[in-house]
Amino acid sequence: AAPRGNVGGFAGMFAATAVGKNDYTSGINIDQGPEPSKDLSVLSLESAGSVGFHNFIQSGKNLPSPLPFESFHVFTVRSAIGPKGNGVFIDGILLGEQPRNESSIGLDEMIVGGRIYSNDDGVPTHAQGSFHGDIAAVLVYDRALTDDERVQVEQSLFSRTPGLNALASGRSGHALETLSDAPVVQMLVPGFTVEELPIALRNQNNLRYRHDGKLVALGYDGRIQLVTDTDGDGREDHATMFWDKSSLRGPMGMALLPKNDPRGEGVFVASKGKVSLILDKDRDGIGDEEILVATGWKEIPQGVDAVGIAVDPRDGSVYFGLGTANYANGYLIEASTGRAEFDLASDRGTIQKVSPDFKKREIVCTGVRFTCALAFNREGDLFASEQEGATWLPNGNALDELLHIVPGRHYGFPPRHPKHLPQVIDEPAAFEYGPQHQSTVGMVFNEGVNGGPAFGPAQWRGDALVCGESRGKLYRTKLVKTPEGYVAQNQIIACLGLLAVDTCVTPQGDLLIACHSGPPDWGTGPAGAGRIFRLRYTGRTVPQPVHAWAAAQDEFRIAFDRPLQDADWAGTREKTRIETGRYASAGDRFEVIRPGYQIVRDQMGSPRRWVEVQALSLSADRRTIVLRIPRQTELATYAVTLPLPTSWQTHQGIPQRQEMDIAVSLHGVQATLENSGQSLRIVLPHASFVVSREITAGSADHEDFFRQCDNAADSRTLTFRGQMNLANIFVPVVQPRATLDWNLAADPFAQRTMILHQDFSVAIPRQVAFAPHATNSIMPMELALTGKLALKGSGLTFALDSRARPIGLTRFLVPWASSGTDKQNPNATLTRTDVKGNWLHGRRVFFGDGGCATCHTLRGEGIAFGPDLSNLLHRDRDSVLQDITKPSATINPDQTGSRIRFKDGTELNGVIRRLTEEQVTIQLPAGAETQRARREVASIEPLLASLMPEGLGQLLNATQMEDLLTFLLTNPLEPAAITRLNPVIPPARTRKEIEDFVAPSIAVPSSLKPLHILLCIDNQDHGVDEHDYPVWQKRWAKLLSLADKVTVSTAQGFPTREQLARADVTVFYSRNSGWNPQAATLLDEYQTRGGGLVYLHWAMEGGKDPAQAEALAARIGLSTGRSKYRHGKIELNFTQPTHPITQGFKSLSLTDETYWAFYGDPARISALATAVEEGSVCTQLWTFQNHKARVFGSIPGHYTWTFDDPLYRVIVLRGIAWTAHEKDVNRLTELALIGARFAP
């Protein structure tokens, strides 16, 4: 169980009781006591025969200190009759015991995570005292276990705690957590102020401004009002009635007559059963007449039917939508016959066009559900927001849609069906809004009103602004026109705590949002109270994010429309967050309303994970933020949250969370330009330069790439690399949890994949070829183009028969994206295949020829001047290589250098660590630091270039560079994970303690002889983190293999003759289970030829037979079998500080185990270190010589952590070298810090 807190009230983990009785008198319970606590410092056990609260945790006595909440522990309760019958254990440690009198434990009722009792005679016993935490397993036995049985069960459970802690910490996934205090409207982009209009209106369905600046508001109740600003503060505050004749039912869609229309002022309204024009003939502000524009269709049961309306500005034609006949039974299947009654010629589920004189009505397209908004864009093309897509039909698109309406097409409701509707082709949406159940309703194109400006930054002009009603979203959808249709890119720009129904641009360039009150889907209805908010773009000088993309596996980039200031971004890495998951989106934490569908609950429960932000830097031109992260391949949205710099923040209107939220995905195509010997690479959102230029407008990186392409010679080569999703765009994805009533795999049309056409070059085939694949529609793509290229066309397009369509952005995947499900931890360090060098040689470059350690630290070593490089493990090779060879490509704002000029004419380049009125402290490379009086400073200017010098790429040869990259990008060994609590793990060694013993990283002489080391173990025979022979063997095999000319082999049990024959040194760490006369014979052969032996800890065990124990001692010096032992703190005193193994050591403190009372003759050994036990000096380290063989023995080695102690490692590594007759016993000590525990 993992307690997460304790609010008091006897919060229980487990309780059992007899029927109708209290748990503490008739059963058993374990709880956290009556009072709240800030940590796991209270644990009580009561039972029948042992009543009364008693805290078993005594900090400083049975536990070193209170345990923090959050972690999983094994809690064991033992109950038996007797003076010490009740006992409590935590992680195998006995906390205490209490007497239990003669009694029986009732197990009639049990509760996990609570208590069962009542102290009120009038109230029956009931569950209470809820536990705040997680419980992974509960085991109840019908008797008290023996100690051996208990230990076995505890160790089994305890082995699960690391995985449970990882799961609970989010490394394997967590659920979405929304804010409890989210603003009612939160902008996700900087520079905006949010205000609420000071006016009380009912729920409004549509808002539009008239040519005279008055706001026309269409209410859900069918009333139309004119809303004005009476006090000149820019906020409408007064409403007058324009139409209140109860003739409009369920109105959803409004359009206005233009200025100077001869008919007067007019409002087109789509409502139940009709489309009307409400006319104010005399222009007095009150509607005089309702003119029927269209009617005559059969109404449907729903509260709306005619939805969405737009007037073609070119000729005055009126377009509106007619909702589908039955959204839950799209094919209108007759239950008794199973036959579909859907009529493709019906008016239902269509976009209708009415002539300007209202005399002719025709069907424009079919297959729509409820197009709640219609609008023409600047190109004169009609778009519709399709609310809920084809939700409720298993074979239909489940997402809300933005449709580009083209006459004669069918838009997928109901979708094609081989039996019920085989004759249609379902047209894909221009954009799909996910995850499911956003309910896109209101929509307007971002154009200026009455000659005023558009809303927001200039690059937003012309974009579609769309309301996601059910989950409170405001979308900005950019639409790029191509000859084949539109390509869309979407951004969430605001989250609301209300139902966002419609939006419109004001004459001043602000944006209004009409909201309904109440819960999804449609809130409080026609009579409910509505609210209207105004969004103002007040921070026009604040940099705006213009594009975000995955530049590499380990790098996200966010481009801004103007330069950023270093000071604004210093210290922001720690405040930057990235969350990802299947359903993750930017700003999810602000989504405080959502509809109550099961699929939405599934989305909420879908695992998410945090992605570590390892570094945040700025590009050299300060236009782009570069985020370094662990390598990411999961095809999901990555929601990035950046803190707003103080200078960007606005504090007017509704208070905002001072953050911005940006989505990054692994969609895109990697483009490489090779021109005149130069190579430039970037990830584009689309292979079409026309599309990519518009989507990335304002991104300096992309503008530079396009400029280079435009200016390149005809001999250039342009290569696109990535993956293409070729699945049939005319066949919707089957909805979650849905089952089709037909075999999709047997449908020839559904199984067809798209054909990819290119129009870049006539020199290669128009159709791009892919290798056939039976099951996967995502195919790798590499398209190399040379010579004269057409860069102003569509680039790549989809085709199927005669149908040519644009390729949506989500159909492009970057080369490293994985579309499969990765069951491993996505944040884990991956096995690298992109570096091939020698790790240890790379370490020598880092600390030697490369000079890296003079300015950088890595895994605790080096000098902290520049950034710490420990996180490079997760970085992409190319990006790290660029950092080495082009250090000024990105600038870490926390490491920005300055040029300090002094009045005496001198100057320094360094990092200012402290600046006061009196003094400036400047850190310089190689750890130097200088202080100067502030009065001596003439000027301080930021450096545009990195302090890291250029030219390292020329300083190192190719082999050295590969070795260095291997060292930086891989880590062969981490310190062993320690989970035990008692005894407490000793503190890590400090650099000062170890610096005199660790060999410097210098080139090793080529004359080294080969060294073969054999590591011998048994199965683990003790508790957690003690005598863990397999872990030691695995770790030390990796460690020793790093050394030059060292080969490592392993053995289980006593080695064979063949294994010993190959070994120069054999290291035993085991209980020596294979020791017998046959083993003694093999050891004699081995020692006769001079093989080295190292015996660690219990490996010196000779067994219960004194003769066998003496036989072992005769060969290695000492052995155990009758020995005594003690666990705890040890003080080793070195008796031979000049011996090659122990040179330089005087004493050494360990937390481990001592042995004494050995077999063997102490006079035959050479004691290197001793400890005092029972008042006597006892050998703990020794050497011994037998025949030509050298033996080194060490008693310490009980706990796993001892083998990660750098000083203990030095002793063992020297011991290995000494027994191998090495002239330099420090041959291996270069390995002492690799994967060791030491404080930086």
Q: Strands (DSSP E) along 567-716, which ranges? A: 577-581, 608-610, 615-619, 624-628, 637-643, 659-664, 669-675, 678-684
Residues with Cβ within 8 Å of residue 1044, at least 6 apart in sequence: 840, 1004, 1008
1231 touches 1043 (CB < 8 A): yes
What confidence score (pLDDT) does residue 398 get? Answer: 84
Give the torsion through C-alpha atoms of 994, 996, 998, 1002, to 10 deg: 140
Higher-pLDDT residue of 927, 1096 = 1096
The residue among 952, 942, 949, 951 whose CA lies nearest residue 926 is 949
pLDDT digit string, tens, across residues 1109-1125: 999 999 999 999 889 99
Per-residue pLDDT at 821 exceeds 60: no
Q: What is the DSSP string of 487-539?
A: EEEEEEEEEESSEEEEEEE-TTS-EEEEEE-SSTTTTT-TTSEEEEEEEEE--
Residue 1046's CB: how many other CB atoms inside 10 A?
Answer: 21
* pLDDT reading at 240 higher than 70: yes
- The type of residue at 312 is D
- Alpha carbons 1064 and 1227: distance in angstroms, whole number: 15
The residue-averaged pLDDT of 605-624 equals 90
What is the pLDDT at residue 570?
92
Give the containing element (helix H, strand E) for 177. Answer: none
Question: Span 38-52, mean pLDDT?
Answer: 94
* Whether the Cβ atoms of residue 820 and residue 633 lie closer than 8 Å to each other: no
Whether pLDDT at 33 is above 80: yes
Q: How far apart are CA 775 and CA 745, in angstroms?
A: 10
User: What does the pLDDT look like over 125-170, one tens digit per residue?
Assistant: 999 999 999 999 999 999 999 999 998 998 888 767 766 776 776 5
Choose between 979 and 431: higher pLDDT: 431
At 349, the amino acid letter reads G
Three-state DSSP at 251 gives coil
Angle 201-203-205 from CA coordinates, rounded to 5°: 120
723: Cα within 13 Å, side-chain hemisphere:
19
Residue 519 in tokens: 């819960």
Q: How far apart are CA 702 and CA 686, in angstroms?
A: 12
For residue 796, give the 3-state DSSP assignment.
strand
Identify the H or E element spanning 647: none
Angle at 1010 between CA 1008 and CA 1014, to 5 degrees: 135
pLDDT digits (tens, 9 = 90+) for 164-193: 776 776 556 777 888 989 999 999 999 999
How many whole angstroms separate alpha carbon 71 and alpha carbon 162?
9
Taking the C-alpha atoms of residue 636 and residue 814, their distance in angstroms, rounded to an integer, is 12
All structural domains of the chain, each given as residue ranges with its CATH number in brackets, are 2-168 (2.60.120), 192-537 (2.120.10.30), 545-813 (no CATH), 831-896+951-969 (1.10.760.10), 897-942 (2.30.30.100), 1009-1231 (3.40.50.880)
DSSP 428: P
d(CA 661, CA 763): 44
**Digit-coded pLDDT (tens) for 978-1009:** 888 789 899 999 989 998 898 666 656 668 99
Residue 1170: both structure tokens together: 């001793």
Q: Are 452 and 428 in contact (CB under 8 A)?
A: no
CA quadruple 494, 497, 502, 504: dihedral sign? negative
User: Residues 6 or more apart from 195 whose CB is under 8 A from it?
Assistant: 235, 533, 534, 536, 652, 653, 654
Task: Kindly report each contact of residues 106-109 with a partner whose C-beta sits within 8 Å and lies 24 or more positions away, as own/partner.
Answer: 106/16, 106/17, 106/18, 106/19, 106/21, 106/26, 106/27, 106/48, 107/16, 107/27, 107/140, 108/16, 108/17, 108/18, 108/19, 109/16, 109/17, 109/18, 109/19, 109/27
- Residues 998, 1155: Cα–Cα separation, whole Å: 28
Question: Residue range 1171-1177: average pLDDT?
Answer: 96
> What pLDDT shows up at residue 349?
96
Whole-number Å distance between alpha carbons of 982 and 251: 71
For residue 1101, give the nearest of 1188, 1016, 983 by alpha carbon: 1016
- The distance between the two most distant Cα atoms of the chain, rounded to a whole number of Å, is 123
340, β-bridge pairs: 333
Q: Rounded to whole angstroms, what are the CA distances from 473 to 287, 598, 1093?
A: 33, 20, 71
**Terminal-to-terminal C-alpha distance of the chain:** 34
**Predicted local confidence at residue 171, as pLDDT:** 56
Residue 298 buriedness (CB in 10 A; 0-12 / 13-18 / 19+)? exposed
The angle, 0 to 180 degrees and rounded to 10, between the axes of the packed helices 958-969 and 877-885 is 120
- The whole-number average pLDDT for the span 410-422 is 93
Name the pairing type of β-strands 812-813 and 861-862: unpaired
Q: Regarding beta strands 201-202 and 529-537, do their DSSP bridges make them parallel or antiparallel, or are they unpaired? A: antiparallel
Cα Rg of the chain (Å, integer): 38
Alpha-carbon torsion, ordered 1095, 1099, 1104, 1108, to 10 deg: -40
Question: CB-side exposure of 989: number of CA atoms within 13 Å?
Answer: 29
Give CA–CA dist 739/885, Å, rounded. 55
Q: Which residues pair with 628 in a beta bridge?
A: 555, 615
Q: What is the pLDDT of residue 1211?
A: 97
Compare 745 and 611 and report the one with higher pLDDT: 611
Give the bridge partners for 498, in sequence order.
Answer: none
**In the structure encoding, which two tokens stand for residue 687, read together?**
């292979």
Q: CA 1069 from chain center: how many Å?
A: 41
Nearest to 1190 by CA among 1231, 1220, 1230, 1146: 1220
Check residue 393 and give its pLDDT: 80
Mean pLDDT score across all residues of the chain = 92
The two three-digit tokens of residue 693, written as one number: 């230029």
Are 1169 and 1181 a contacting pair, CB within 8 Å? yes
The crossing angle, in degrees rounded to 10, of helices 1077-1088 and 1106-1116 is 10
Task: List, for residues 333-385, the tens digit of each pLDDT value.
Answer: 987 888 999 999 999 999 999 999 999 999 999 999 999 999 999 999 999 99
Helix (H) or strand (E) holding 1081: helix 1077-1088
At residue 822, does pLDDT exceed 50?
Answer: no
pLDDT class of 823 with cuts at 50, 70, 90:
very low
Tokens in use for 67?
Answer: 């345990």
Check whether the bond before 414 is cis (ω within 30° of 0): yes
Q: Who contacts 1081 (Cβ-Cβ below 8 Å, separation ≥6)?
A: none
DSSP alpha helices (H): ranges in 983-1028?
991-994
CA angle (660, 663, 666) in 5-degree steps: 155
Token code pair at residue 748: 């020839």
Query: What is the pLDDT at residue 935?
Result: 94
Angle, alpha carbons 534-537-539 (nearest 5°): 140
- In the numeric block, the tokens 């990186």 are attached to 701
- What's residue 1048's pLDDT? 98
Question: Quick check: helix, strand or coil at residue 474?
Answer: strand
Among the listed residues 556, 725, 724, 686, the one whose alpha carbon sits nearest the alpha carbon of residue 632: 556
Tell me what percent of the residues of the chain surpass a pLDDT of 90. 74
Helix (H) or strand (E) holding 212: none
Residue 1223 CB partners (closer than 8 Å, separation 6+): none
Residues 558, 546: Cα–Cα separation, whole Å: 8
Q: What are phi and psi of 277, to 5 degrees?
A: -115, 115
pLDDT score of 824: 41
For the stretch 655-706, pLDDT in tens is 999 999 999 999 999 999 999 888 999 999 999 999 999 999 999 999 999 9
pLDDT tens per residue, range 778-801: 999 999 999 888 888 889 999 998
d(CA 763, CA 815): 25
332, 975, 1151, 1210 from 625: Cα distances, Å: 54, 33, 47, 44
d(CA 373, CA 441): 6
Which of 520-534, 538-552, 719-733, 996-1010 is most confident? Answer: 538-552
55-78 pLDDT per residue, tens: 999 876 777 567 888 888 899 999
DSSP 298: P
The answer on pLDDT for 636 being more than 90 is yes
